[in-house]
Amino acid sequence: MTTPEAEQSQSEPTDEGVPEQSGALQGEAEESVAADSSVTAPAGGSSSETAPEGETPSVTAPDGEIPQPADTEGAPRPEERLERAVRAAEQALIEFEIAVETFRVEVDNFSRLHHQKLGPMYSRLDELEAQIAEARAARTGDPEDIRKAHEARARVMPMPGVEELFHGWMDSEGLFPEAVAMLTEQPVRPPQRVRPSEGARKLYRELARKAHPDLAQDENERKRRDEFIARVNAAYGRGDEALLRELAEEWAAGPVPEEWKPSRSEELYARLEWLAQRKEMLAFVARELEESAIGAMLKLAPDDPDRLLEEIADQLLAQVDEREAELAELIGRAC
């Protein structure tokens, strides 16, 4: 019997777990810039008459007066419009990243709890199916039944592949803390639930919005935020609300980020392009999570994923009872 973990190891977010984004961030930002750059008539002025086709419209000043340029005082500079567009794109990206990370934690926790709680039941079912096939082959002596019995026995303890061996143990940064704890014989703290408590989720969202590395304006600040967010993600992954509360207090007492300083237009446009690329990468991650076996299972119970584990366990127990009854019947016939 193939468990969902086998599929999960092959593809690890947006229908249920991760909300879809309406359009690319860059498109939204460019529309904002375009809207801000539209020309408006000066306050208190009247619209000029339309010039005949083919002629250039002109503004005629009263006799004795010199034409003055339109009053542009108060109109936003191009850099200011770009800054607003960048800030809007940053906030949109942060919200999307929060949604993706929230769903990733649920997928990861569900996968671990699924293996921890239901793995023994899957193993029991595989063993019963192998015994049933062997009993049937012993009774009939049919070569086909013997072949099926060998295949069933081989499925009980298959040779794991490299991806299966290392799945859930390491990522691009190296070994997970849980893996390090196991290798050093330290106690491991497994997740208690698929979905962390509402308080933990609220604290996580607040910290992610305040301390997100993308809000840093220099390399040192980005490094500080990267390290802090890594601790926040680890605490949220374990559903540790108390630790998240401590981290919130730590961040509140930390150094105040430097005030935003306007950048050149070229740098702001480059920032918008980077944000759009980052959003596309997150969308790919979201699709991978949702299309995975565990992600598909989570869609079946988006409101209460922990209850889904209990329902699957009930189904597996019923299947175990059926296989045991079938095996007992085959053994009884042989006697």
* pLDDT tens digits along 189-248: 556 666 788 888 899 999 999 999 888 888 888 888 999 999 998 888 888 889 999 999
CATH topology of domain 198-238: Helix Hairpins (1.10.287)
The answer for residues whose C-beta is within 8 angstroms of residue 212's C-beta and 6 or more apart is 94, 97, 225, 229
Report d(CA 314, CA 23) in Å as an integer. 42
Residues 256-266 have a mean pLDDT of 59
Which residue, 12, 3, 5, is CA-closest to 291? 12
- Angle of the 25-36 helix axis to the 78-140 helix axis, nearest 10: 160
Share of the chain above pLDDT 90, in %: 9
Provide the residue ranges of all domains of the chain, joining segments of one domain with +. 78-158+268-334, 198-238
| pLDDT value of position 259 | 57
At 118, give phi and psi (nearest 5°).
Answer: -105, -15
Whole-number average pLDDT of the chain: 73
Helix, strand, or coil (residue 312): helix
Contact yes or no for 127/156 (Cβ under 8 A): yes
Long-range contacts of 38-47, Cβ-Cβ distance < 8 Å, separation of 24 or more? 42/70, 42/71, 43/71, 45/70
| pLDDT value of position 260 | 52
- Strands, E, within the chain: which ranges? 170-171, 174-175
pLDDT at 123 over 60: yes
CA distances from 265 to 81, 82, 158 (A): 10, 7, 59
